[in-house]
Chain A
Amino acid sequence: MTSLLEVSGVSKTFDGFRAINDLSIQISEPELRAIIGPNGAGKTTFMDIVTGKTRPDEGRVLWGEKNESLLGLSEAEIANRGIGRKFQKPTVFEDQTVRQNLAMALKNPRGPFAVLFHRKTPQGAQRIEEIAAEIGLTDQLTRTSGELSHGQKQWLEIGMLLAQDPRLLLVDEPAAGMTAEEREKTTDILRRAAQTRAVVVVEHDMEFVRRLDCKVTVLHEGHVLAEGPLDHVTSDPTVIDVYLGRSDA
């Protein structure tokens, strides 16, 4: 396993608040990784830094075999390197159909003129069918995505990430607001995706993380507190103190 993403010594301060403090995380390919931590632990800021939304004050973010620095690249450039991001709140284009949403995300040239003269291809249509089957929305392709249920929107957004064919998926709280059954399906989708690529899941819900059955990184105050299998980190006294202990109390 080689390192796909290497975040080292990254810090970020917002108006005196240290959101990220000397954070170092390595993600391999393929890998499924869960990042947990209480509110304000820096999970979302970590994703913002990797995807180019936020510039860190110091530290390095290196990508791929060539160890290319992602700092200074725009969001679109980073996305085209192969990093897909799912937001906490489902963000799909509600006025457009499920098929249009997926078609927009499909890996194709992204320039305005390439898109203007874009023609639908049989391969593209087939790929959309495959992804729709994967996320269980085959029957919903012609529906306006605003009409979908909350869970279906979450899956559609994951499907849009898969359509981008990224090497790394960053998924922010995919199970929030889902029923038990929907969570199970979401777990399956993510675990299958992680067989061929790196998937990083930020999650609050311990039960969901347990089902993912993967290496866990615990963040606290912008710093890695513990890393390892779930049972290992949950037995760590410092973790129990800052996070688990509190939620049990």
Chain B
Amino acid sequence: MTQGFLVTNRSVRWFLFTLALFTAVIAFGSEASGTGIFSTSLVKTLGKTLCLCLIAVAMDVVWGYCGILSLGHFAFFGIGGYAIGMWLMYGRTEGIVMTSLANQTIPPTPQEVSDAIGGQIFGVVGSSEFPLIWSFAHSLPLQLLMVVLVPGLLALVFGWLAFRSRVTGVYLSILTQAMTLALSLYLFQNDSGLRGNNGLSGLQNIPGFEQTSQATISLVFFLASAAALALGYVLFAWVVAGKMGSVIMGIRDNEARVRFLGYRVEGYKLFVFTLTAIVSGIAGALYYPQAGIINPAEIAPIASIYLAVWVAIGGRGRLYGAVIGAALVSLLSSWFTGGGAPDVNLGLYRIQWTDWWLVLLGLSFVCVTLFFPKGIGGLFDYLVRKPS
């Protein structure tokens, strides 16, 4: 089945080929492989970019194909990051605590160990108690399950309430913004159990791999991100290729018609919303160990709006468009805001890109919307003739 699907979808094969080539080049040139052409921080940036591409593909399915302009998918991304971050932080702190307690004459009781770890983690918010949500933090498999379950359940409940009440269009977008804002504000509180505005940090240190260099770890995460993007891309390409794609594009173009054909539109929207939320959570779980830190600002409403901008610039309704948009805009963004772009001296005024990048981004968003509604991905239509 999948084989036949790959044969009939040329763009999927091209994408996989390009991604494999890119991954091989970066892996070969990374410090871990000994050549050291690309610095470890560059490998991390590229690995993070691949995760952003994955959530952009998910966003394209929910918005570009199904017509639900969700401005809250970064909430799911952030939840995935927090879920894996809890295990990373717990595991690492446990290692440090055990080392320091090892020299004591009387072996520490489990309660003492737990208190010591809690004190280390929650000291910044004036607590040492483990909140209930950290119950599974000691276990990697359980916490990985949370990466999938928590975003999935949140999307299921939120989507069920919203779609059942037939909230659509801009009202739904506002609701999703409210969801991500509420979550972000909640996490900013010190008693949320996730260290308030400090967030979770030191996530680049993987428990059990203390002796492994960051060069190797960054390469492993880069490869894992590339694999996740490839799998996610193939999954979504398969979903939108068949009859499912017909129905969800039908919902985008004329919801009422699909209803009168006998399809329960709510069920389809819920399916798409939840599936994309789960993939967003997985993308987040791969992103934050490479970023090293997660805090509530990451899931502020603006993040999800940027996501929509990437997809719009890259081209809605085509998965490779979302990848191009996310990669291009997020890399350009770090180049401009990271001081990589030289200032432009106009004599009277110096354009400093750290300040002016957002203006440039806004301008290009307006231009794309007005003049290239199909986005950058639309350019491929001119290059490739449609197979008749």
Report the minimum CB–CB distance from A159 to chain B (whole Å).
12
Does B262 sit within 8 A of A, measured CB to CB? yes
**Contacting chain B: which of A11-19, A103-111, A194-202?**
A103-111
Most buried by A among B254, B258, B260: B260
Does A29 sit within 8 A of B, measured CB to CB? no
Does A160 sit within 8 A of B, measured CB to CB? yes
In the complex where A76-B263, A85-B260 touch, is A100 in contact with B246 (Cβ < 8 A)? Answer: yes
Structural contact, A79 and B246, CB atoms closer than 8 A:
no
Structural contact, B249 and A160, CB atoms closer than 8 A:
no
In whole angstroms, how far apart are the Cα atoms of A164 and B259 in the complex?
12
Chain A residues with CB under 8 Å of B259's CB are 74-76, 79
Chain B residues with CB under 8 Å of A74's CB are 259, 264
In the complex where A100-B246, A104-B250 touch, is A112 in contact with B271 (Cβ < 8 A)? Answer: yes
Report the minimum CB–CB distance from A202 to chain B (whole Å).
15
In whole angstroms, how far apart are the Cα atoms of A85 and B258 in the complex?
11
Chain B residues with CB under 8 Å of A93's CB are 246, 249-250, 253-254, 257
Structural contact, B260 and A84, CB atoms closer than 8 A:
yes
Chain B residues with CB under 8 Å of A80's CB are 262
Q: Please, what's the 1-or-0 string for B221-260, where 1 marks a CB less than 8 Å from any CB in chain A?
A: 0000000000000000001001110110110011011111
Chain B residues with CB under 8 Å of A142's CB are 388
A interface, size bucket = 20 to 34
In the complex where A51-B260, A104-B261, A111-B267 touch, is A116 in contact with B250 (Cβ < 8 A)? Answer: no
Does A115 sit within 8 A of B, measured CB to CB? yes
In whole angstroms, how far apart are the Cα atoms of A119 and B5 in the complex?
12
Chain A residues with CB under 8 Å of B246's CB are 93, 96, 100, 103-104
In whole angstroms, how far apart are the Cα atoms of A162 and B4 in the complex?
30
Most buried by B among A93, A95, A105: A93
Structural contact, A115 and B244, CB atoms closer than 8 A:
yes
Does B116 sit within 8 A of A, measured CB to CB? no
Does A118 sit within 8 A of B, measured CB to CB? yes
Most buried by B among A51, A85, A105, A112: A112
Report the minimum CB–CB distance from A116 to chain B (whole Å).
5
Q: Please, what's the 1-or-0 string for A105-143, where 1 marks a CB less than 8 Å from any CB in chain B?
A: 100001111011011000000000000000000000010
Does A94 sit within 8 A of B, measured CB to CB? yes
Structural contact, B261 and A112, CB atoms closer than 8 A:
no
Structural contact, A76 and B265, CB atoms closer than 8 A:
yes
Chain A residues with CB under 8 Å of B257's CB are 87, 91-93
Chain A residues with CB under 8 Å of B388's CB are 142
In whole angstroms, how far apart are the Cα atoms of A118 and B263 in the complex?
14
Chain B residues with CB under 8 Å of A115's CB are 242-244, 247, 263
Does B163 sit within 8 A of A, measured CB to CB? no
Chain A residues with CB under 8 Å of B1's CB are 119
Does B130 sit within 8 A of A, measured CB to CB? no
In whole angstroms, how far apart are the Cα atoms of A113 and B247 in the complex?
12
Does B15 sit within 8 A of A, measured CB to CB? no
Total interface residues on B, CB under 8 Å, equals 25
In the complex where A103-B243, A116-B244, A118-B242 touch, is A110 in contact with B262 (Cβ < 8 A)? Answer: yes
Structural contact, B254 and A91, CB atoms closer than 8 A:
yes
In the complex where A76-B259, A93-B254 touch, is A110 in contact with B264 (Cβ < 8 A)? Answer: yes
Report the minimum CB–CB distance from B9 to chain A (whole Å).
15
Report the minimum CB–CB distance from A145 to chain B (whole Å).
11
Most buried by B among A84, A96, A103, A115: A115
Report the minimum CB–CB distance from B150 to chain A (whole Å).
22
Report the minimum CB–CB distance from B29 to chain A (whole Å).
40
Q: Please, what's the 1-or-0 string for B139-157, where 1 marks a CB less than 8 Å from any CB in chain A?
A: 0000000000000000000
Does B28 sit within 8 A of A, measured CB to CB? no
In whole angstroms, how far apart are the Cα atoms of A123 and B258 in the complex?
23
In whole angstroms, how far apart are the Cα atoms of A160 and B250 in the complex?
13
Chain B residues with CB under 8 Å of A104's CB are 243, 246-247, 250, 258, 261
In whole angstroms, how far apart are the Cα atoms of A113 and B260 in the complex?
19
Structural contact, B247 and A96, CB atoms closer than 8 A:
no
Chain A residues with CB under 8 Å of B268's CB are 112
Report the minimum CB–CB distance from B8 to chain A (whole Å).
12
Chain B residues with CB under 8 Å of A75's CB are 256, 259-260
Structural contact, B250 and A96, CB atoms closer than 8 A:
yes
In the complex where A93-B253, A95-B253, A96-B250 touch, is A118 in contact with B243 (Cβ < 8 A)? Answer: yes
Residue of A nearest to B264 (CB): A76
Structural contact, A116 and B261, CB atoms closer than 8 A:
no
In whole angstroms, how far apart are the Cα atoms of A85 and B253 in the complex?
17
Chain B residues with CB under 8 Å of A53's CB are 256
Chain A residues with CB under 8 Å of B249's CB are 93, 95-96
Residue of A nearest to B243 (CB): A118
Most buried by A among B253, B254, B262: B262
In whole angstroms, how far apart are the Cα atoms of A79 and B264 in the complex?
10
In the complex where A80-B262, A118-B243, A164-B261 touch, is A94 in contact with B253 (Cβ < 8 A)? Answer: yes
Report the minimum CB–CB distance from A99 to chain B (whole Å).
10
In whole angstroms, how far apart are the Cα atoms of A198 and B246 in the complex?
29
Residue of A nearest to B260 (CB): A85
Chain B residues with CB under 8 Å of A92's CB are 257
In whole angstroms, how far apart are the Cα atoms of A26 and B13 in the complex?
57
7 A-B residue pairs with CB within 8 Å: A74-B259, A75-B256, A85-B260, A87-B257, A93-B254, A112-B244, A113-B271
Report the 4 A-B pairs with minimum CB-CB distance, sorted nearest first: A79-B262, A75-B259, A112-B271, A80-B262
A100-B246, A115-B247 given. 8 additional CB < 8 A pairs? A74-B259, A76-B259, A95-B249, A104-B243, A104-B258, A110-B264, A112-B271, A116-B271
